[in-house]
Amino acid sequence: HGATELDEMGTEALPRRTPAPAWLPTAKGEEGDFCLRSSDCSAGLCCARHFWSKICKPVLREGQVCTRHRRKGTHGLEIFQRCQCAEGLACRLQREHGPADASRLHTCQRH
């Protein structure tokens, strides 16, 4: 008897857009929430790989360790990706007071 009730309502009452999958958050994701792309995350977060899924992680601030990619396309191979440096910052070799090349660590620094 449920099918006849649906016919009487007509198709105008049914939503025309496809609903989002249940696992996809409708609001912007917070830190640790699953995502597909950075636009799924709240301001100050990016979507980055964490094991075999992607979660919202914080964009890096000045002085935080960042990842500098030597070859294009290597970013996708990381199991634990980091976000990019925040606006106005660049991922550069950390300046050390010691022997040259003592540290290969990169940090987010002002331009």
Regions of the chain with pLDDT less than 50? 2-12, 25
CB contact at 8 A, 103 and 94:
yes
Q: Which CATH number fits domain 33-110: 3.30.300.30, 2.10.80.10, 3.40.50.150, 1.10.3370.10?
A: 2.10.80.10
pLDDT in tens, 32-50: 999 999 999 999 999 999 9
In degrees, to the nearest 5, what angle opens at C-alpha 90 toward C-alphas 84 and 91? 70
User: By the 8 A CB rule, do 83 and 45 touch?
Assistant: yes
| pLDDT given at position 19 | 58
Output phi, psi for 100, to 5 deg.
-60, 140
